[in-house]
Chains A and B, each alone.
Chain A
Amino acid sequence: MIRVVVTGIGIISSIGNNLQETFNSLIEKRSGIGNIDILETIHKHEFLVGEIKLTHNELIELAGVGKKSTWTRTSLLGIIAAKQAISDSGIDVNKNVALVSASTVGGMDRSELYYKDLLTEAVHHKYIDTHHVGNSTEMIAEQCGLNGLITTISTACSSSLNSVMFGTRLIKNGHTKIAVVGGTDALSKFTLNGFNTLMILDKEHCRPFDNTRMGLNLGEGSAYLVLEEMESAIASGKKIYAEVSGYANANDAHHQTASSENGEGPFLAMQNALDVAGILPSNIDYINAHGTGTDNNDLTEGKAIIRLFGENIPPFSSTKAFTGHALGAAGVIESVIAILSLNYKVAFPNINFENAIKEIGIVPVSDVTKLNKVEHVLTNSFGFGGNDSSVVFSAIKNNAVNETQPLIVKSKSPVYIIGAGCVSPQNTLVKDTFLEDIAETESRFLEILKPDYRDFIDPKLLRRMSKIVRMGIVSSTVALQDADIGKPDAILTGTGMGCQVDTEKFLNSMIENNEGLLTPTSFIQSTHNTVGGSIALGQKNHNYNLTYVHRTFSFESALLDSMLLLEEKKAKNILLGGFDEITEESWLIKTKIDYYKTNPVSNPKVLVDNQKGAQAGEGSSFFVLSNNITENSYAKVIGVDMFFKPTNNRVIENRILSFIKNHSLLVSDIDLVIQGNNGDSEFDSIYNHIENRMFANNIITYYKHLCGEYDTSTSFAMWVASRILKENKIPEILLRKGSQKREIRNVLIYNQFRNINHSLILLAKP
Chain B
Amino acid sequence: MEELIEKLKLQIIEQLNLEDMAPEDIDPEEPLFGEGLGLDSIDALELIVLLEKEYGIKIQNPKDGQKIFFSLSTMAKYIKENQK
Q: A residues near B, CB below 8 A?
A: 197-199, 255-258, 459-460, 462-464, 517-521, 524
Contacts and interface: CB of A to CB of B under 8 A. Distances in A.
B29 to A, nearest CB: 20
Given A198-B45, A459-B19, 16 more contacts: A197-B45, A197-B49, A199-B45, A199-B48, A255-B41, A459-B20, A460-B38, A463-B18, A464-B17, A517-B49, A517-B53, A518-B49, A519-B45, A519-B46, A520-B42, A524-B42
B38 A517 contact: no
Contacts of A518: 49
Contact of A256 (B16, B18, B42, B52): B42
A199 B46 contact: no
Contacts of A521: 42, 46
Interface string B12-38: 000111111000000000000000001
A518 B45 CA distance: 10
B19 A519 contact: no
Contacts of B62: 199
Nearest to B49: A519
Q: Is the interface of A mostly helix, strand, loop or mixed?
A: loop
Interface residues of B, number: 17
Interface string B47-64: 011001100000000100
Contacts of B52: 517
A332 B6 CA distance: 51
Contacts of A255: 40-41
A463 B53 contact: no
A463 B42 contact: no
Contact of A258 (B17, B20, B41, B48): B41
Nearest to B46: A519
26 contacts: A197-B45, A197-B49, A198-B45, A199-B45, A199-B48, A199-B62, A255-B40, A256-B42, A257-B42, A459-B20, A460-B38, A462-B19, A463-B16, A463-B17, A463-B19, A464-B42, A517-B52, A518-B49, A519-B15, A519-B45, A519-B46, A519-B49, A520-B42, A520-B45, A520-B46, A524-B42
Contacts of B49: 197, 517-519
A390 B11 CA distance: 43
Contacts of A257: 42
Contacts of B53: 517
Nearest to A257: B42
For the complex of A and B, the 3 pairs showing the least CB-CB separation, nearest first, are A463-B17, A199-B62, A520-B45
Nearest to B45: A520
A519 B51 CA distance: 12
A680 to B, nearest CB: 37
Nearest to A200: B62
A611 to B, nearest CB: 37
A11 B15 CA distance: 43
Contacts of B15: 519
Contacts of A460: 38
Contacts of A258: 41
A38 B17 CA distance: 37
A197 B18 CA distance: 20
B50 to A, nearest CB: 8
Contacts of A459: 19-20
Contacts of B17: 463-464
Nearest to A296: B41
Contacts of A463: 16-19
A519 B38 CA distance: 19
Contacts of A462: 19
Most chain-B CB neighbours within 10 Å: which of A256, A462, A464? A464
A256 B18 CA distance: 19
A459 B36 CA distance: 15
A459 B16 CA distance: 13
Nearest to B20: A459
A412 B62 CA distance: 53
